[in-house]
Chains A and B, each alone.
Chain A
Amino acid sequence: MSTAGIVSSFSVLDGSIAVLSLVATLWIGLRVKRYIGTIEDYLVANRGMGLYVGAASLLSTEVGIITYMYQAQFGFVAGFSAFVVGLITLAVCLLVGRTGFVITRLREMEILTVPEYFQRRYGRGVRVLAGVLMAFGGSLNLGIFPIIEARFLAIVTGIPSQYLGWTMAALLVVALVYTAIGGMVSLIVTNYVQYLFLAAGTVIVTLACLRQVGWSGMVRAVEGHMGGHGFNPIEDLGVGFILWQVLLWIALMTVWQSVAMRTFSTKDAAVGKKMFTLTGFLFLGRALIPMVWGIAALAFFWGRSEPAVAPSAATPAAQMEQVDARLGETFRRDLDAGRLERALPQVDLLERLARAEKPRSAEAARFEDSARDRRGEIGLLAMPWMLAATLPTGLLGLVVAGMLAASISTYAGYFLGWSSIIAQDIVAPLLRRELSGRSRLRLTRVTVVALTVFIMIWSLVYDLPGPAYFYLQVTANLFMAPTLIAVVGGLYWRRASATGAVLSFVLGASTSLAYLVPSLKVDVATAGNLSWALAVAGFVAGSLLVPPAVTSTPPVGGAGRQEVRS
């Protein structure tokens, strides 16, 4: 068994490629400043975005290093079963693209943010409440990006950990500068260039994975580790999880602010629909391709390992104690040095012992949880360690350039998305006076800066309660369920009222919040589905109990400007 750690072959050449790509992005992003005159130019590029640039912008915003990491982690822990999420994404994109469900009506209203619709339909209070929850959930969601992405960069480039904070700060500042100055116009142009880098990086890494372990190696690794569970998503993830994912992806594709902003920026509703059909296949790749990297990493490290031998203790409980103690001594060091082939069999052994002992001992559940958490930690870092071990100089620089492009475009897109919510839907309505276009522009730029500071701090203080994929989905779910329900209800149900919308937001958000408090130990699928069920129940009950004072036909297109309040 190899005991030496992995050393990345990242060289000056690789560093130069990565830095040049960053400088080029910043230069392009700053060149467009002269086109920004109004808040419409700033937030939705004067609604002039075409189909292909729109698709590139949408995907590069929704793909960052963190996306690659959590999808790879999901593939590592769930095997091919994880692919079901990619198929759901494709199906939802095609459905939205073909029917124009929600997006066509919102695009025709010429709004800038989703909560703006709530003011037109339900009144100012609902707009502010939705804005607060969106800004809160969105910022929490964004808040773990830097720390996870820093770990990727540290592993792949070999940057010493004491410089990581500065590296991430530099990346955030690059994104901050051109987003704050050039807004959506900068984003569209830089996203296009970044997309080319990220697509090239994605293809290179996939080919490297296939060359390294091959498809059959991945199949063998999943069979050996997970058996049928690694292939059958219903057995592995359960119907509840799949149902929640369907609902969540419908919401993400229609009312998630950074996605909705791309819809609002298109030339017209027809381009918006085509953009979703086209990006459906890109979103399929966004999920499946990094999941394959995760499975390849499992096969790679499993192939280098030797089975762990159970200690010769008298009882199974004592055996579990000993393996857990051994892991406690070596796990962190092995993880930090890339010796995953040593950590993985130990974790596997602990999990096997705990599962066998579970029917007889309550204590076994604790060891099973401990093994699962450690497997999740290995899963998060296995893919970058594999890249560091296998990619040669030159190629490594191209891949890092692609990953940095993916990451910065995501920061930039999310900065603009969440800061526009804070400025347009929380601060401006609470001031209760009309702000000039220039003041709104300044306010949005200030919130971009504030948001950057927040995520740097949050990233340093928060401990994840489980896999990154679940955390990200639950923080999104905090407001996605009630937002989609209140939008769909408002568009298609005459009796929808502000009381229903408020109840929906309060009840929907509370369940997702429960998952984020580790001591409550709420299961992720339960939190997700309960959040949707309560959001629907609250919306229907509130609307029926306190109907709107003025009942009108559901607003369509320009007619959406009328206000209906309860």
Chain B
Amino acid sequence: MKRILVVDDDPLVCSAIRVWLEQRGFSVVVADGGETGLNALNGSTFDLMIVDVFMPHMHGFESVRVFHQRAPSVPLIAISGYVFAEQRMPAPDFLSMALELGATRCLRKPFTSKTLLGVIDICLLESEASSLKIVSR
């Protein structure tokens, strides 16, 4: 059974995602912030992480970088509800920034359960494929 870590400061979002994933047979651990999320990583291994990009106490995209550094081989899906309204400089492209910092895929909220599950499937497949490649070398 694949284990997925979900990190988002909104409890409603966490419980919704948990329901969708568990119905599909994933084992889900939920964390409400950067610190609890990292603690969860300390305790066990995961096959995939879903991390909210803008959470309090973590500076914006920091959360992506921090989680990726902690578990570099685990695919990370960055989700974001924030849209950049402040335009003193050109708006950072959410996608490219998150990918640079270590996210495997990005999703903008709101997304449906179908969409999320689809992306999870892709990430898991890719991850398996690359680990197979490594083994076969």
A and B part of one assembly: no
Residues of chain B at the chain A interface (Cβ within 8 Å) = none
Residues of chain A at the chain B interface (Cβ within 8 Å) = none
